[in-house]
Amino acid sequence: MELSPTGHVILGLLSLGPKSGYEIKAFVDRTVRFFWAASYGQIYPELRRLADAGLIEGEARPAGGRRRTVYELTAEGRRRLREWLAVDPAVFEMRDEGLLKLFFADSTGGASAIETLAAKRRHHLEIVEVLRAIEPLAASKAERFPLVVCRFGIECNQWMADWCQRMADELSASEKAEPRRRTA
């Protein structure tokens, strides 16, 4: 059976320890959501599929009266995870509305660009904040790579924020040097 990337994410998360669907969602939101988000609408059906395929195993473990199913990897699931990790990554997609608006900013004579850059900058700085907050947590774990990836997120978003600043500066500088001629 072919597995979706989100299926692999679940296998990966379960390799860090057994979890319920709810915990998987919470974990994703705290960690990989910046480069791979997942919603309940994906997670629960996917857990069912993975269990049917024998890659994970669910066990009823009610926490104080609340019904609750905790899943963990089977040997086959662990094998499939490693198999996936050994293959070169293929998917790399970005959807950045800010760059899009910047691309078309000539149709406002450049007037919209300053605010677009400022908004994009704020957005990246917000992400930096969030990642900085979870960095110590990642650093405290036995696993080393979550921390590596967390730091990538911090540095990369900081770089993008700085680029926005730089561009905004250059723009207002050239604006002063040669005031806008056309508004077309």
Partner DNA sequence: ATTCTCATGTAATTGGTTACATGATTGC
Partner DNA sequence: GCAATCATGTAACCAATTACATGAGAAT
Residues in the site for a second copy, rule: CB under 8 A?
5, 8-9, 12, 15, 31-32, 34-37, 78, 81-82, 84-86, 88-108, 110, 112-113, 115-116, 119-120, 123, 143-146, 148-149, 152, 155-156, 159-160, 163, 167
- Min CB(105)–a second copy separation in Å: 4
Interaction between residue 55 and DNA (CB under 7 A): no
- Please select the residue that binds DNA; options are 10, 11, 38, 161, rule is CB under 7 A: 38
Nearer to a second copy, 68 or 151 (CB): 151
Q: Which value, to the nearest 10 degrees, does the dihedral of the CA atoms of residues 15, 21, 24, 26 take?
A: -160
Q: Are 158 and 124 in contact (CB under 8 A)?
A: yes
For residues 63 and 86, which CB has a smaller minimum distance to a second copy in the complex?
86
Q: Which amino acid, 107?
A: S
| Binding residue for DNA, selected from 47, 73, 102, 128, defined by CB under 7 A | 47
Contact between 46 and 6 under an 8 Å Cβ cutoff? The reply is yes
17 binds DNA (CB under 7 A): no
Shortest Å, Cβ 156 to a second copy? 7
Nearest to 44 by CA among 56, 36, 34: 56
Q: If you search the block for the tokens 């406002």, which residue do you land on?
A: 108
Closest CA to 16 of 25, 26, 4, 27: 27
- Cα–Cα distance between 12 and 85 in angstroms, integer? 9
Residues 82-101 binding DNA (CB under 7 A) are 95
Task: Count CB neighbours of 128 within 10 A.
Answer: 19
14 binds DNA (CB under 7 A): no
Residue 165 interacting entry, from DNA, a second copy, none, C-beta within 5 to 8 Å by type: none
Contact (CB, 8 A) for 47 and 99: no
Is residue 143 within 8 Å of 16, Cβ to Cβ?
A: yes
| Least Cβ distance, residue 70 to DNA (angstroms) | 7
In the complex, the residues that contact DNA under the rule CB under 7 A are 4-6, 20-23, 25-26, 37-42, 44-45, 47-48, 63-70, 95
